[in-house]
Amino acid sequence: MLSKVTICGVDTAGLPKLTAKENDELMRALKAGDMAAREKFIIGNMRLVLSLVKRFWAKNAGADDVFQAGCVGLIKAIDNFDLKFNVKFSTYAVPMILGEIKRYLRDGNSLRVSRSIRDTAYRILKVREGLEERDEEATIGRIAEEMQVKEREVVYALDAISDPISLYEPVYNKSGDALELMDQIYDEKQSEENWAEKVALREAMERLTERERKILQLRYYEGKTQTEISAEVGISQAQVSRLEKNALGSIRKEIS
pLDDT at 109: 52
Query: Which residues lie below 8 Å from residue 155, measured CB to CB, with a gap of 6+?
Result: 140
Instruction: Give the residue from 228, 200, 202 showing the smallest Cα distance to 213.
Output: 202
Name the percent of the chain lying above pLDDT 70.
74
| This prediction's pTM | 0.42
pLDDT of residue 34: 92
Give how far Cα 182 sits from Cα of 130, 138, 165, 217, 252, Å.
23, 16, 11, 20, 29
Angstrom CA distances, 150 to 113, 153, 154, 180, stand at: 20, 5, 7, 27
User: Angle at Cα 26 formed by Cα 25 and Cα 27, nearest 5°?
Assistant: 90
* Alpha-helix residue ranges (DSSP H) falling in 63-150: 63-80, 89-107, 115-133, 140-147
pLDDT at 60 over 50: no
Amino acid found at 210: E
Q: Which domains does the chain have, with CATH numbers?
A: 6-107 (1.20.120.1810), 115-184 (1.10.10), 192-255 (1.10.10.10)
Q: Are 137 and 131 spatial neighbours (Cβ–Cβ below 8 Å)?
A: yes
CB-based contact 28:83 (threshold 8 Å): yes
The tens digit of pLDDT for each residue in 198-236 reads 667 777 788 888 889 888 888 888 888 888 888 888 898
Check residue 27 and give its pLDDT.
92
Q: Supply the mean pLDDT for the chain.
A: 78
Q: Are 223 and 191 in contact (CB under 8 A)?
A: no
Please give the DSSP secondary-structure letter assigned to residue 78.
Answer: H
